[in-house]
Chain A
Amino acid sequence: GEDVEQSLFLSVREGDSSVINCTYTDSSSTYLYWYKQEPGAGLQLLTYIFSNMDMKQDQRLTVLLNKKDKHLSLRIADTQTGDSAIYFCAFPREGKLTFGTGTRLTIIP
């Protein structure tokens, strides 16, 4: 099976919260990452969480980590049109960063 799984699509109304989920099969990494890819651009590091933390908050972003269930999520509060992008979770594996399939977030006006 896939090492890292994400839902491909998510649609959210402007102003609502978005929750993007990611499950993984194996990670001994110190950090776990969320990258954002805007249309026509490369990926940008959005946020990350240290593996011994359960939660990290950074302004409108909240990262939740459930190591027991191997589940990582990204919550975006008060979703705006500028949040439209593809969001990738990423984990170091065998010295390299492994990316999820990406979740395309669409904002409904």
Chain B
Amino acid sequence: DAGVIQSPRHEVTEMGQEVTLRCKPISGHDYLFWYRQTMMRGLELLIYFNNNVPIDDSGMPEDRFSAKMPNASFSTLKIQPSEPRDSAVYFCASSQDSATNEKLFFGSGTQLSVL
């Protein structure tokens, strides 16, 4: 398996623009997580899904952020409109099942810069 695949690797956009980050989890993994990493806040869990259903979105910063998982092999994180403070590295991770959802497999991340 190729692991968790995220795209794009880098995104540079202007304030106010819509940004869409994409993730393909490892096949057969039931859990998918979106994290954000910054120097100031470290690693923050934004939202996670189980079997394509959002379970906990309490980490989503505000209404400008939304995440979807239309099927088991694809998820998106959308920011609309984007702001400079959204600049961060966004990671997607997946895990196999409830017994092992602490053993996460991370993608390489998307480095987002909002100017």
Contacts and interface: CB of A to CB of B under 8 A. Distances in A.
Interface residues of B, number: 17
Interface in A26-80: 29, 31, 33, 35, 40-45, 48
A42 B109 contact: yes
Interface string B84-115: 00000001010000000111111111000000
Interface residues of A, number: 21
Contacts of A88: 43
Given A41-B108, A42-B91, A42-B93, A99 B56 contact: no
Contacts of B48: 96
B102 A42 contact: no
Contacts of A102: 42-43
A92 B42 CA distance: 17
Interface of B: 4, 42-43, 45, 48, 56, 91, 93, 101-109
20 contacts: A29-B102, A33-B102, A35-B104, A40-B108, A42-B93, A42-B109, A44-B106, A45-B103, A45-B104, A48-B103, A88-B43, A90-B102, A92-B102, A96-B56, A97-B104, A99-B42, A99-B43, A100-B42, A101-B42, A102-B43
